[in-house]
Every structure is written in C-alpha cells, then in structure tokens.
Amino acid sequence: MCGIYLTNIPTISDSEVSEKLKSINFRGPDNLGFLEKDSLKLGHLRLSILDLDSRSNQPMQYDDLYITYNGEIYNYKKIKEELQELGYKFNTTSDTEVLLIGYKHWGTDLLDKINGMFAFCIYNFNTQKIFCARDRLGVKPFYYYWENGNLEICSQLRPLATGKKINKEAISIFLDTGYIPSPYSALENVMKLPPGNYMEIDLNLKTLHVKEYWNLKKVKKTNMSYEDAKNEVHELIKDAVKIRLQSDVPIGSFLSGGIDSALVSSIASKTLDEPLNTFSIGFKDPEYDESKVAEQYAKIIKSNHNTTICNPDDILKLLPKLIEVYDEPFADNSALPSLLISSIAKEHITVVLSGDGGDESFIGYNYFVWLKNFVWIFNFPKWMRKLASHPTLLKIAGKNSSASIDALNTDSKNDLLIKMFTGFNSIQLKRNFAWVKHYEGFKTWSKDLMQNAADLNIKLWLENDSNVKVDRASMAYSLEIRSPFLDYRIIELARTLPINYRYRKGIRKKILKDILSEYIPESIFDQPKRGFSIPLHDWIRTDLKDEIIETLNDEFLNKVPNLNIIKFKEQLNYHLENKQDHTANIWKLFILGKWYREFNF
C-alpha cells in the first residue's frame, strides 16, 4: 500500500515534490522514491507488502515505461504465469512489475484482467503519454489537477492544495452527504478519477480524456436454486479471501460482532496453516460494545484474539489525526474507532482483512428495512401523501418529524432513495441535486427498489464514505486493509441473486448467515448488530460541548457556502438542550470547521 505522485508543472521543484510526499509519509514509510524523466516528475511512497527487496521500489521502469502505483493486484500470479508463457522475463516477485509488463503487452485491455484495489500512473517516454487507472469500486484514492496542460496527481488532496481555493459546490454537497463524492473534491480544479475509469493524457497535445472500463450493469436474475446460489457465493468468498492472504509481512483480520467480519475471519482461519491474528475494540457502554460476541467468534475459530476496551478519551484524542489524514471534510464518525483499531492492529501486523462491503451487496443495512416498510406510501397519489404529511396528522400517528414530512412529500421512489443518502433534514439554503447525474445509473439497472437502493449505495456511499474511511484510517498507521466482499466478482454475483435470497421475512443478509452457520452456531451470531458506532450524540452535549461551541462560531458559519445559519443554530440549541437529536448536522459542521482551520480557509 502506497502513495503516488506525478507532475509536469515546471515551477514545482524536486525539493517541493519531496516535501509534498513527506506530508503524507504515513501512506508508505518504507521508501520515498523519485525520478525525473523529460518534463515529468514521478514520486512514490512505499509500504512494502510483496517482495520486500529494494528491487521492487518505485517508480519502476520496464522498457519505455515508468510506473507509480498504489494497491494490490490479487491475481497477479496468474497474470504473471500468462505473461511468462508469452516470453516475458521478470526480475522481481512483486505485483508492480506484473502490472507494468501487463500494460506493455495488453494496453488498456489489462484492466479487464486484473482483480485488485489500485490507483496507478504509467508514463511512456517515447510517446509522451500517461495512462492512469483506478480500481472498479474506488478502494484506492486518485486525485488530479489539470489546467492548461499542467498536471498534478496524488493519492491524497493535501499535496495538491497549495494555492487552491475552496470548491463551494463540493462543500455544499458535503452539507447533505457528510463527504465529497467523485468526481468532485473540496478544492477548485482538483478532481477525483471515478472508480472503474481510466485516464489518458497526451503531454504533447495537452489533452486529457477520462473513459469508463467497468460499471454496474442491468441486472440479469439467476435461475439457480437457493442452495446452488449459496454454494456459489460461498466458493467465491473463499477464493476472494484466499487471494487476499498473499503477503510477505504479517497478516490478520478485524473481528467485530457482525457476521461479515466473522465469515471472513472464519474462512481465513481455515485457509491459513497457523492461527489467525484477530482484532476488535469494545466500549464500556454495553449499548455500543460487541467485544464479547467477537471473543466468542475468536474462541470458535481458534484465532489469536486481541480485544481493546476503550473510553471516550481514547476516541476523542484522535480528532486531530482524523483532520490530518483525511484531507477533505469527512463526517462519518465511525472514522474515529476505525483509526483506533488500525493503530492497535499495526502494533502486531501490516496487512489486515475486513468485512467491509457485505452490507451493500447482501442487503444488510437498517435502511433496507425502513425502505421495505415505507415504500407502500407511493401507492397513493402525491396530493394524498402531501395531505398526510400535515404535522397534526403525523403527531397523532406518532411520526411527527421532518424526515416523515419530507418523505411523504417526495415526488418519486428514486427521489426517496436519493434523499436516503443525502438526508431529509438539510441545512442548506437551497438544495441542488445536479451532482447526482454522476450516479443516476441506479434508476435503470434494476426494476426492484431494494436493488436500486443497493446499487446507489455501492456507487455513492461505498466509494465516497466507506472506502475513504477505511483507506485513510488504515494508511494513517501504515496498515493495509483488504476487503474480500469488495471483490468485483462478488458484487456482480450478488446482484444476480433474487432479493429474497438476501433479504427474507425481515432477515437481512440471509444467504451470508446461512453460510456462516457452517462455521459458527447461529445462536451466537444471531444477535442485534450495533454497528461500528460511538455515543456521539451524548458527547456533543458533554465532552465535546465547549469545543463545538468554540468551533461553530459566527465567523466560521458565515464562511460556509449555502448554509442556512438560522436553521442550524436552532438545531444546535435544541440538541444541546437535549430536546432533539441533530448529531449528524452538528458533526458535519464541526468537522468542516476543523478542516477550514487546518487548511487556513
């Protein structure tokens, strides 16, 4: 796992490149590589995972090509064998060399062959062209600046921030989502390369073109029986785990009380010859603690388990770290415990498996239940729904909330799904959903509303929230996380399964639970899922109260584009008085305020 950098801007000196890379040194502390070729400067930070020898340091050259690359190609051995049969020779045992030679032979077609998480740039010094690509699900980040032929690329935003202004549209989107979705970034003229896309740059012609090589497609339902489907999903998950266990450094697994990490850890334990190292964190508050369940799992799968019980101070002291390593405003508060467990795991291992991605494909989130129970309202015309949204009627029904009112007044099912991911209680002065054009495929890929929601989750939330959270939290401590459920083959297979294979009679992730029962008794894993959450709503009123009030002052609030200051202040007061819960909006503005200070805006 690494950090990449590339630029052709002549005013950026070698020493500046070095300083830019040092500012994100946590992504790859094992080696800082740099070379200059023609008008181009390439940099690389290495976290050594495969072939620890210096021969695999980057930037790496093969023939007329140079590469700077971040990620892991999980099927690199198979591709290497194919290239060897074609006559190619290799000097390392790394996946970097396989990627470089594979591009030399297949060009763009290589992207259809590789299975992994990646963001890379390949420069051909004969043609003066650069080829860049990002993995299908956006596990690895890719930022770029392009203006009048001037190019700068990096794994993180901070090295590209010099002299840039705030992207007001992106900040406005953040007020709804709590993150900044691709292709936007928090800074003007800096973009994210969307997942499943590649980019071609001609330095001579000063042209840049972005093209798609992978996306979700129209769902074709399988005719497999439930048992056959279960067996196929099981075998594919086993293979996805197996290919993610390739490592030349110590490896382990996160193990929470959820079924996804339990299944990944169970399969890994069966695959490895030695006991698996597993890690979990717990809280003294039983409402948020899953450590006891995780310990039961660990005992059954015979892993070497490490549980850390933490208190509010352990979490809150990581706030500066969050602002430092996330670079963009990011308001998913589970980033804090993610940072904590990554720091703990790094004391023992360098690579860790996780269960991220299971909820998206196998219908696991709470909102799926809400959606199933609420969608019937669209059987009634809008005028009737609008009438039913009257506060008096909702109060009688016990549903008197802004979310209920907004949901009843939503024009269509698609609009309802969008608001599920952008919030019903907006603090924007004027909402503008023009940016959703980048994610509208969910409307046409399936005729099933539950699958529509899952697809929007995969394309919008998974990339821009979950994957960002995991990448930055792990890389903050130079830890590589591999998520078998993010194997694109599993994503594609799950979408072909009937919804009732995944969600049946209120049972979420039905098929995964039936698979897990082959490893762990159902009586142990069939417990309420608490999620990787913290009691933030209480901390805002207590431990964080003074800091929040100081941060969210009038000077800052007046800087925030499109913010309804009057509405937000009302929400803040209601929350602090324990009359209403506005945790989400308060946390967004608090994180944004910290980010403004960090970048001197």
Residues whose CB falls within 8 Å of the CB of residue 456, separated by 6 or more in sequence, listed in order: 417, 418, 421, 439, 442
Is 2 a residue of the active site? yes
Tokens of 503: 């969600």
Residue 5, phi then psi, degrees to nearest 5: -150, 145
Give bridge partners of residue 201 from the DSSP assignment.
Answer: 130, 208
Contact (Cβ atoms closer than 8 angstroms) between residue 589 and residue 560: yes
Q: Is 355 annotated as a binding residue?
A: yes
CA end-to-end distance (rounded Å), the chain: 31
CA 62/CA 348 separation, integer angstroms: 35
Q: How far is CA 314 from the centre of its chain?
A: 23
Judged by DSSP in three states, 63 sits in coil
CA 489/CA 30 separation, integer angstroms: 32
- Going by their DSSP bridges, the two strands 129-134 and 197-202 should be labelled as antiparallel
- Tell me how far CA of residue 330 lies from CA of 144, 174, 263, in angstroms: 19, 8, 29
Tokens of 538: 């209480």
- Going by their DSSP bridges, the two strands 480-482 and 351-353 should be labelled as parallel
Judged by DSSP in three states, 409 sits in coil
Q: What is the dihedral of CA 210, 213, 216, 219, to 10 degrees?
A: 140
- Tell me how far CA of residue 547 lies from CA of 252, 344, 393, 449, 574, in angstroms: 37, 27, 39, 42, 17
Query: Across the beta sheet with 31-37, what order do the strands follow?
Result: 31-37, 40-46, 2-7, 150-154, 143-147, 190-192
Contact (Cβ atoms closer than 8 angstroms) between residue 187 and residue 180: no
Residues whose CB falls within 8 Å of the CB of residue 127, separated by 6 or more in sequence, listed in order: none
Tokens of 440: 């509208």
Which of 2, 121, 132, 310 is labelled catalytic?
A: 2
Judged by DSSP in three states, 418 sits in helix
Please report, as a single letter, which amino acid is at residue 348. H
- Tell me how far CA of residue 109 lies from CA of 161, 214, 376, in angstroms: 33, 12, 45
How many residues belong to the chain?
A: 601
Q: Strands of 442-588 (E only): list them.
A: 480-482
Q: Is 354 annotated as a binding residue?
A: yes
Contact (Cβ atoms closer than 8 angstroms) between residue 473 and residue 465: no
For 451-477, give the secondary structure using H, E and C.
Answer: HHHHHHHHHHHHHHHHHHHHHHHHHCC
Which residue positions form the known binding site for L-glutamine? 95
Which residue positions form the known binding site for ATP? 281, 354-355
Which residue positions form the known binding site? 95, 281, 354-355
Active site residues: 2
